[in-house]
Amino acid sequence: MSIATGTASANSIKEALNNKTVHHFIGGQFESSASGDTFDDINPATGEVIAQISSGGVTEIDMAVSAAKEAFDRGPWPRMSLRERCDILRKIGDLILQYKEVLAHAETRDTGKPLSESLEGDIPRAAQNFQFFADYAQAITEECFTVSDNERHIAVREPLGVAALITPWNLPLYLSSWKIAPCLAMGNTCVLKPAEWTPFTAYLLGFIAKEAGLPPGVLNVVHGFGAHSAGEALTRHPDVSCISFTGETTTGKAIMSAAAQTLKKVSFELGGKGATIIFDDADLKEAIPTAVRAAYRNQGQICLAGSRLFVQEGVYKQVVEEVVAAVKQIRVGDPLDRNTQMGSIISLEQLEKVQEYIQHGKKEGKLLTGGDRVKELPNGYFLQPTVFSDLSFDSRCCQEEIFGPVLPIIPFKTEQQVIDMTNSTAYGLSASIWSSNVDTCHRVSQKIRTGILWVNCWFARDLRTPFGGQKSSGIGREGGRYALDFFSELKTISYKYKA
């Protein structure tokens, strides 16, 4: 096995951005795969190969889990005070901000998302995830049940051990940090398996972890694929105590079944088919641009996207006209250009999947704008933002998660009708309601089956709140104390004192 160098300094992170091999990070060392196998890391905006990714499998997962277990069983991490652990996590957050430019370039190069979004959205949020949990974990309380002066029962939190963190490609560092920070704050160690399409910021995080003084083996990163590869090996490993996963619903089912063999605790954040609901009395000046942002941000590749737009019949015509006009103004282009609003789709595979939905949409409804690849950018996987009308709420485009820049607009007459249509999908992650009548907002928000419901806004987030979905959108909640609960085991210790 070859070992790459990993001295952490501002220079080395900058240099690592140009490295042509993405290594695993195991026990504090950067490692190639034992087999020497690699696969291409492709920039979806240009089709160019950025680097070779070390392709991990059972061997690398075994090494990483054993490094994490050693760090948990014998290393300093779970034995440090909470304050000391949180100081290191805060330092990681600070370093992410310090290296924001490098990380944002890496993220944009891997994902094809606009650089402005990486710089202003993804990377600062990744830093905030570490900083938030560094503070919040120290504020968490434990319970004491007093029976009498000489009998007390206390419920204490203990770490679980080695956690498996499996993350998707749409918000790579943002979602990895959302899991790593609470996991480590509670004293666990972990193995992160980032998405095969977007390994680079997870690789760079290894340099940051070293520079922040994170002990070896506390954070391990193994690259590779999902099924029959590193991902699956991690979910089956007997020394892994819990799995926190974000990705597709079908993958969640496969992971749950693999995890059942060793009864691991699971937390799943899965797909979504978010609805934006505009009532006749909504403030359209706010609702329309927000509905457009909700549909096309990150090329529509967000589980929280408002990927169905329901509009009450009184304003339907006006909303359709204004949405189409706004969508035609979206600047699709080179992600590195600061004026670009929409970049490329993550991969050719995903582009073809979205195009298949567009074909269904064309057959079953009316294409109002978009629908094609961007001809001026033939090397990248760019798609025009697309709007459909005349699609039935139960058509495939309105029921299935497309995860691309495609928005069907569907009219409705009554409150009950839109509630039924919104609830008709298998998913239940998020919805956003627009009305100036507080009673309407209140009534409708009670009846929509989602984990997150926005009233006259979209994507408003407070990291203390529970985040997750109902139905096929997930199991459990992330965020705030819900994440800290997941990454800890409760133990009751009962005391009897001599009077």
Cα–Cα distances in angstroms (integers) from residue 42 to residues 337, 389, 440, 464, in the given order: 19, 35, 47, 36
Nearer to ligand ADP, 77 or 403 (CB): 403
Residue whose Cβ sits closest to ligand ADP: 226
CB of 278 to ligand ADP, least distance (A): 29
Nearer to ligand ADP, 251 or 384 (CB): 251
Task: Give me the residues that bind ligand ADP (CB under 6 A), please.
Answer: 166-169, 193, 195-196, 225-227, 231-232, 235, 247-248, 251, 254-255
* Nearest-10 crossing angle of helices 200-212, 82-98: 130
CB of 429 to ligand ADP, least distance (A): 14
Rg from Cα positions in the chain: 23
**What span, in angstroms and rounded, lies between the C-alpha atoms of 200 and 110?**
7
Nearer to ligand ADP, 100 or 297 (CB): 297
- The DSSP result for 125-142, as a single string, is HHHHHHHHHHHHHHH---
| The one catalytic residue among 86, 190, 303, 398 | 303
CB of 98 to ligand ADP, least distance (A): 27
Nearer to ligand ADP, 57 or 333 (CB): 57
| The one catalytic residue among 60, 117, 269, 322 | 269
Of 489, 25, 485, 478, the C-alpha closest to 219 is 25
Q: Are strands 21-22 and 24-26 parallel, antiparallel or unpaired?
A: unpaired
Q: Is 269 a catalytic site residue?
A: yes
**What span, in angstroms and rounded, lies between the C-alpha atoms of 178 and 127?**
10
Please give the DSSP secondary-structure letter assigned to residue 317. H
CB of 240 to ligand ADP, least distance (A): 11
Nearer to ligand ADP, 24 or 193 (CB): 193
User: Are 264 and 242 a contacting pair, CB within 8 Å?
Assistant: yes
CB of 44 to ligand ADP, least distance (A): 13
Nearer to ligand ADP, 208 or 259 (CB): 259
User: Are 444 and 432 a contacting pair, CB within 8 Å?
Assistant: no
CB of 162 to ligand ADP, least distance (A): 16
* Nearest-10 crossing angle of helices 100-111, 200-212: 160
Query: What residues contact residue 411 under an 8 Å CB cut-off, 6+ apart?
Result: 310, 311, 312, 313, 316
**What span, in angstroms and rounded, lies between the C-alpha atoms of 369 and 388?**
7
**How many CB atoms neighbour CB 383 within 10 A?**
25
Given the structure tokens 């070293």, which residue do they identify? 210
Nearer to ligand ADP, 175 or 287 (CB): 175
**What span, in angstroms and rounded, lies between the C-alpha atoms of 420 and 245?**
29
Nearer to ligand ADP, 254 or 320 (CB): 254
Q: Is 415 a catalytic site residue?
A: no
Q: Which residue spans within 417-483 are E strands per DSSP?
A: 427-428, 430-434, 452-455, 470-471, 474-475
CB of 224 to ligand ADP, least distance (A): 7
Cα–Cα distances in angstroms (integers) from residue 289 to residues 40, 182, 229, 457, 495, in the given order: 38, 34, 42, 11, 59
Torsion of CA 239, 242, 244, 247, to 10 degrees: 70
CB of 194 to ligand ADP, least distance (A): 6
Nearer to ligand ADP, 105 or 237 (CB): 237
CB of 72 to ligand ADP, least distance (A): 21
Torsion of CA 385, 388, 394, 397, to 10 degrees: -30
**What span, in angstroms and rounded, lies between the C-alpha atoms of 158 and 187?**
8
Reduce the DSSP state of residue 209 to 3 states and report it.
Answer: helix
* Nearest-10 crossing angle of helices 123-139, 172-185: 20
Q: Which residues are catalytic?
A: 269, 303
